[in-house]
Each structure stands twice: as structure tokens, then as C-alpha cells.
Structure 1
């Protein structure tokens, strides 16, 4: 039987083995049916076969982003993008431009990172009052654990903001809010169904352009699950989505009988998600020792006892569980909660795992818990970076120890946390990590963004490598990451294929 699609004259890396490289492949009904030389695969060409000459380009399994927030990606495409702003003044200028473009509602900005600014401070009320004193304004830090709001927003939200998470100076709110105080802000700016659809459509197109063929999306009180299923029903969903629901959705999922891995080829239910701590940027990640540049050792967003109860409930009902844990104390708390479960069989996960102790790495390997990590974060791990100021040299050098995790036998899954959503950027960070002893090979980093992420979603039998019988999800690059180790992020994605259909073509 003839193939639907033939991709030929390529450098196809299956990622099953470093030396397994082929010249051509054939696809039928959304599955790979043959790999081999151009001559061998050509026998499957028929009258209606689409044959594409890739002109020597590199073909890989499609990237799977194991941790993202796709609505937020779309929001940044629609609202003010503050990423890359070189100063507070530049970020405020971008917000002011956005305010001029809209005449009602909140002025929203996303993604600023003050760690590279000369004054290295959060955007606050004074900054954002400069954008507007008539309309509420919010500027989210890149990690989404800290935001600045103006006076109008402070007055409007009032007592809904938990006092402990509203930063003050001399008893007066600065406009900087963290952790639980972000809840009322998010509720106030939450998009409706149509707005969510617009944002997700923009984000999906962006993801496909970055070579992403599948995501694990973490959602809470969002219309995204409905929109994904609507797009799927309409035949307009061009990436595979695994939805990880916040723990406050657990009872609802149980009531409707929607369990982990339920769904179809494109939209499936994933894990139950919880926080434990915050972030290094906000000094809210929970550490066993105090921060190097401030008082305290972080905070519990969800206490260990509450986390233990959540894990016990979810695991008893057969759900995969995943917990955000960045600081070493938080990582230990999650592992403690998982000890009473068959964590490996359930493929329970920890998101971020930024500062695990040596004993925690051993426990991760022994229990089979998946380390869902973000190589993008290594951009803050240099000698003069954010981690150095927050943690000091020793802990900074021990952060994000991907080599130690992999060598210990821990299941490693890469994701972006949308900072930014760009697998090639993350691969470059992992291959060129600031601490030389923690660097991965190009193949190892690519496998973490393909097979490793697929494994984290129970998908290794259908995704993550290029093999006969597996889904025809591919990323095609203009040049080889093995040849451009220090500039992997600069490689252009020439084509993205999902389920045998070309969803992005920039050749």
C-alpha cells in the first residue's frame, strides 16, 4: 500500500541510538511505516503520495514540552511582552504602548526579568502608576510568582489580597504581590472562552513554529480544556495536549470519571498538580538554609501535611501526581509524600527539581519519580546570575544538576515553563550549562525533550522517537545541533509535522 507522505534526502536521527541515522521515511495514516535509504523508501511512493525533498536537513522526533502554560504563551503574544526589557523604564514603556492600543480594561504585561537590570528590582506601584492612574495595570515577572500592580488595581482588589503576600515598605503596600495574592489578580483578568481560544490559537501556531508537536499544559480555572476539545472536534488542533489539572479540580475529575491518560490521540488527561513552594526569583522557594541575599528560607505555598493528604487521595484513585518543588526542603517534602505510594508505577513527577540534595537524587532514582525540569532556567545559573545572588556560589553550582540526575538513572523530562517556549533554546542551555560537570550531550538533551517528555506522559510507545509504528510527529531543522553546539538556539525550524500533516513549513 502506498504511503501518504514520504520525506527524503534528509538526515533522520531516530534518537533510539546515537548511530541510528537514516535518509528517508514513509508515513501512512499518521504512523511511520518505513525508515531507510531514499531508494528503499521510494518503493512506497504512489500516485497520491506527497513526497518532500528535505535537501539534507536534520529530522528529529517532534519536541514534547513537558511543562508549559499555553494560555499564558498566547497572552504574551496578545498583550505586552516584557521579556527582554533591559530596564524598568523599558518595561514601563512597553506597558504604556499597550495602554495606548486599548481603551478599556486591565493593561497587562508578562515576562519581565529584573535580574539583568542595573538596579535589579521588581516593578512596583510607582512604576505602574506611570502607565495609568485610571485603569488597573499588572506586570508579571517571568516566573509568574511575582507581579507588580498599580494603585487602581490595589484599590480595586482591596481586602481580597492576602496581607502576608502583599509586600510593604514602611507599612505601605508597594504594589508588589507574590504567591497567594496573585490569585485575585488572575481572577480579575481571566479571559473568557472566546479570548482563551484566540490566545491558544496564537500560542499553538507559535509552538508549531518552534518544532513543538506535543505539550503537557498545566491549567487551573481555565477554559483551555474546553477549547482544546473544541479545536480537536473541529479538526483544528495541530499539537497533542496532555492536560495536568490543579489539585482543586480533583473532586470534579473523579465525579465525571476522567482519569489519568483518558482521552484520544490528541487530548488526554494528565496528572493532578500541586504547589509546595514558590520561586528563587521571589525568594519564596523553600530552602533548608536561608537565602544568601535576604532574610528567611522561603515559604510553603502548600504545607507538607496538606501535600501528603492530596497525594494520598489522588494516588488512591489512580491519578498520576505532580508537585512543583524548587528548593531542597520542598523537594524532600514531595519525596516524603510519595514514599507511601507506588511512585514509579504511577509515574508521579516533581516539577522543576532545581536544588535537589545528593540524597534526594538517590531517592528520585530509587522511587522512579520523574524529574520534570526546565533547562531554560540555566540562563540564571551563571557566576553573576540570579542564582548566585539568591543562593551563593555553592548552592548555585549545585542547582539544576541534570548530569547527576541522568547518571543516577532518574527519568529526565524537559519542558520550558514558557520561559520561553523554545526547545532549541533549552537544549542549548543544557549542552552549555555554566557548570561544566552538569552538561549533557546534544543527544541526551534532545532525548529529554522528546523521549523523556513522552515517558513522563505515558507516551513512550507512540511518541518520542522515530520508529515504524510510532506517530508521525517530526521536527525538521535547517542545520545540525551536533555541529552547532554553542548556537543551537539560532537554528531555524524548517518544518513541523504532526500526525503525518505538515503544520509548519518555513523552507
Structure 2
């Protein structure tokens, strides 16, 4: 006698996203595993007295989204602090920071605590007044607390005079922007570290931020995250929540390079851990960002004569780090945006990768890759961990055109990478942590020639992330024997490709458990 299923989903449009993509109508789950796919009549008989049966009523069911590059605690902080991501200009950003300052001033729980007024996610490239926030802007926030506003890419921050007075002595000269010799309040790259040191959340706050961010992630159809963790209590929080069976999504922890010695001492290679929380890669920078003009280019920026960006991690230091990590069985995830940085990462990977090994080292962002670099990425079996939501900057007059001129058409070359046989793993970088926004930009490419089909884009946000996380044997497609990580959408992205970002998530299932439901 066949055991009853724990969960049965009926009357859906189920896309497996396997090769080839096939459709079914219903599925059954037992002990977190997909045990039957077929028609509703074929599957319904597995329902027993204790089975949860849900009618999808024609909704599209897909493998759960895997956000292969995000920052969970920062996503949580956007939910708590001032969210500047859709601010319309400097004045609006200041108003939002003022509202946050008023909240802090009205909080009587810790009136004498050392607080900062913090905002996240401003993007001056979308403003009519295309400039960074300055200390003069932030000095207009009526508070005695120091004020900081992080740019969307987190490679640049703006601080007020109170904050600047506290940290200016700790900021490297090449990370402090000045005008006529005076600090503007704009700091970049390592210059932001003193602000991070002063504002990093403690254990209890980290738990709150992680919980809020992952609850929000589940509501957006995300069933797994690859979290880029830097100087954070998040790894401890993940393991505690996992032990208590309180994590709504799977977590792959990509540890910053300053965690490498601890991982080596503990003997933890990539993929060690539980079914829910696992060790991922060692994460490192090479360069910065286009927004901050710190991405490392072979030719100068179009809007800054003679400037070619800067190394955050020098190539020799990068090569040594990659050798140490790879030698210990650790995957490496190296941030590289400019063409010169991408080449430096490939040099480092090629120095340590032996023929026949399956290291799956990653390049994060890969925003300005040359033809030669794409060929090398494919030949070296490197995963391209890319952010389709960044395509919003590729249109006429957008950030890429201002920074790069004609080179904007050579950014985020998803079509060329895919055609070369490279694994694309889509992530959000938390801008925002919403796969449907990223999918929209992957399909509706402003530069016209790098767009993907709906199926290709969905695979990059599902099985691409699974491959990047060595999880393709259990995640990324809907097939019998795989774990039941699923998302149901209220409309078909194939039917409305021009407005994918407006589709709603109605159901999220992780390991057979319903973690979000609006059916």
C-alpha cells in the first residue's frame, strides 16, 4: 500500500524547468520529497486524512527561486531603518532620514545609547539631480545622532558632519572624497569600514534582522539564499534557527575572506553543514562599483577623465587568498565588475584549478566582461553569479552610459555568457531582494541584444543557483526525488513577459512545508 502524501498540489500549470521543460498538472510531496508528478486524477489518490491538499486553480508552479547573491542582514536593515531605494532626490532622502531620526528620538527604551541614523539604498543615477548625497545634505537632518546614507551598491556612503568628525582620522586618503581640499562627506570602499564598525548589529538585533528579511524573502518566492556574510553574527543565528527548525528558507553562507582562518582551523570545506544551512564560498572583493567609479577598468571612465577605478584587493593578494582557500577545499566567490578585475580573478582561478576538478569558483557581478574573458569563464567552468536587476542601468542616459559611454552595450552580457556555455546563477544583491524584478530585467533588456527568454531567465534563478551551490541533485527543478522547494505565481510569466515584475507570489514551499500562502 502506498503511503499518503503530506502535501498535494492540484490543478496547476507545473513547469519542471528541467531539460527540456515539461509541464504537469499536480504533484505530491512526502517527507519533503517530490514523490509524484502527473494529472490531478493521478496524484489526488495520494491524499490521506492528514494530507494538506491545495488547489492551485491554474496558477503557475515553479521550482523555488534561489537568490545566489544577497545580503540578508542588510535586507533586514532596510525594513527597520530608512529605506532610500526609491527616494526621488536628495530632499526626499533627507526627509526619510529625518523620519528615522524622529523614530529614534521617540524611542525611550535606550535614550542614552550611541545611535546612528541610518539609511540604505539611495541611487542618485535615477534622480534628476545626479549627484551623491553630501554632508551638507545630511546636516539638514535635525538630530544630534550621526547620520549615514549608504548608496545602493554599498561601495559608497555619505555621512554628516557629526559622523565625519568621529571617523575622518580612520579613513584612507584614497577613500575620502574632497572638494577644494575639504571632505564632502562621501566615502568609498575601505573608508566605509569605520561606519560599519560603529553600526554593526549585535546578536539579538541580527536575529531580528535575519528573521524579518527571510520572512520577506519567502513571501517573494525565495526558497534559498546565498548570503554574503561579513563581520556578522548571522552564521550563529542561522545555525540556532536551523536547530530550532525556524528557518523559512535554505541558507548557503558565503563567508568573507576575513573568516578564512577560522574555517581553515575548523576544517570546514564548502558544502559542510545540514540540509538547510551549509558552508558556501569564501567571498572577496577585487574592485569596487560603477556607481562609485571604483570598478577597475582598462580604460578611463567616460565621466571622469583619467580615472580607471581602484583595487580593493590587489591581484597578488587575491591570488594568494584563492590559493589558500582552494587548497582547503573551499569554493571562491570573487567580486569583479570592471574588465581588468574580471581578468585578475580568472588569472587567480587558472593558477589553482586542476584539470578534472569541480571547484565551481564564482565571479560575482561580471558586469564588463570582454569576449576573451567570456571564453575563459566557459573554459574554466567558472559560475557567473550575476544580477539581472542591474540591467535597469543599461538604457539610454542610464548609469552605465554616463560611466562607460559606448561600453554600456557590453555590460551584463547574459546572452553571450549563456551561449558560451557558462552557468548563469541569478541573484539580487539585495537591490531589491525580489526575483520577479530581476527576471523582468533579464527578459526586457534595455540594450536589446543580451535579453533572455522567459525559460532561460527562470532557469538562471532556479537551477543556476542550485548548480552554483552544488545542489543540482536535490534543488533547482521539479522532478521526483528532488526536494519540494516550490513557488506558485498568480499569473504566467510566459503570458506577460513585458510585466513580469508585476506578477504576485501566492505560495512558497520549502522542503515540503508551506512557508507563505495567499491562495
TM-score norm. by structure 2 comes to 0.96
**TM superposition shift of 1:18:** 4.8
The residue aligned with 1:80 is 82
| Corresponding residue of 2:206 | 196
Name the CA distance, whole Å, in 1 between partners of 2:494 and 2:397. 28
Superposition pairs for residues 23-34 of structure 1, below 5 Å?
23-34=25-36
How far is 1:19 from its partner? 4.4
Provide runs of 4+ in structure 1 moved above 3 Å: none
Is the CA contact 1:133–1:151 (under 8 Å) kept in the aligned structure 2? no
Q: Separation in 2 of the partners of 1:173 and 1:55?
A: 59
Does the CA-based 8 Å contact 1:378-1:433 persist in structure 2? yes
1:413-456 deviations in Å (ceiling 9; x for gaps): 00000011010110110001112221100000000000001100
Alignment match, 1:235: 245
The answer on whether the counterparts of 2:385 and 2:426 sit within 8 Å (CA) in structure 1 is yes
Measured after TM superposition, the shift of residue 162 of structure 1 is: 1.5
Partner residue, 1:212: 222
1-structure distance, mates of 2:447, 2:48? 52
Counterparts of 1:158 and 1:42, CA distance in 2: 66
* Contact 2:101-2:143 at 8 Å conserved across structures: no
Match of 1:135 among 142, 145, 151: 145
Aligned to 2:401: 388
RMSD, aligned CA? 0.9
Kept in 1, the 8 Å contact 2:286–2:314? The answer is yes
- Secondary structure in 1 aligned to 2:185? strand
**Does residue 489 of the first structure (1) align with residue 511 of the second (2)?**
no
CA positional deviation for 1:246:
0.8
Per the alignment, residue 365 of structure 1 pairs with: 378
Deviations 1:322-364 (A, max 9, x none): 1000000000000001112227610000000000000000000
Task: Give unpaired runs (5+ residues) of structure 2.
Answer: 106-112
**Which of 473, 488, 507 is 1:476 aligned to?**
488
| CA drift at 1:133 | 5.5
- The answer to whether residue 363 in structure 2 is matched with residue 353 in structure 1 is no
Residue 506 (structure 1) shift: 1.6
Distance 1:342 1:329 in 2: 20
Match of 2:427 among 415, 428, 433: 415
CA distance in 2, matches of 1:164, 1:231: 41
Inter-CA distance 235–19: structure 2 relative to 1 (3 Å threshold): closer
In 1, are the aligned partners of 2:33 and 2:482 still within 8 Å (CA)?
Answer: yes
Structure 1: which 5+ runs fail to align? none
CA–CA separation in structure 2 for the residues paired with 1:362 and 1:460: 24
Say yes or no: does 1:375 pair with 2:377: no
Distance in 1, Cα, partners of 2:182 & 2:278: 46
Q: Does the CA contact (< 8 Å) of 2:325 and 2:331 recur in 1?
A: yes
Asked if the contact 1:133–1:152 (Cα under 8 Å) also holds between the matched residues in 2, the reply is no
Instruction: Output the CA distance in 1 between the equivalents of 2:21 and 2:183.
Output: 59
Separation of aligned partners in 1, 2:56 and 2:330? 42
The alpha-carbon deviation at position 43 of structure 1 amounts to 2.0
Distance in structure 1 (CA, Å) of the matches to 2:211 and 2:195 = 24
State the partner residue of 1:160. 170
Task: State whether structure 2 residue 120 is matched by structure 1 residue 107.
Answer: no
Instruction: Please give the residue correspondences for 1:316-355 in structure 2 after superposition, counting only pairs within 5 Å.
Output: 316-342=327-353, 345-355=358-368
Partner of residue 452 from structure 1, selected from 458, 461, 464: 464
- Matched residue SS, 1:4: strand
CA distance in structure 2 between the partners assigned to 1:203 and 1:400 by the alignment: 27
Deviation (angstroms), 1:457: 0.5
What is the DSSP-based 3-state SS (H/G/I as helix, E as strand, rest coil) of the residue aligned with 2:340? helix
Q: How many residues align?
A: 506
Q: What is the CA–CA distance in structure 2 between the aligned matches of 1:503 and 1:248, rounded to whole Å?
A: 33
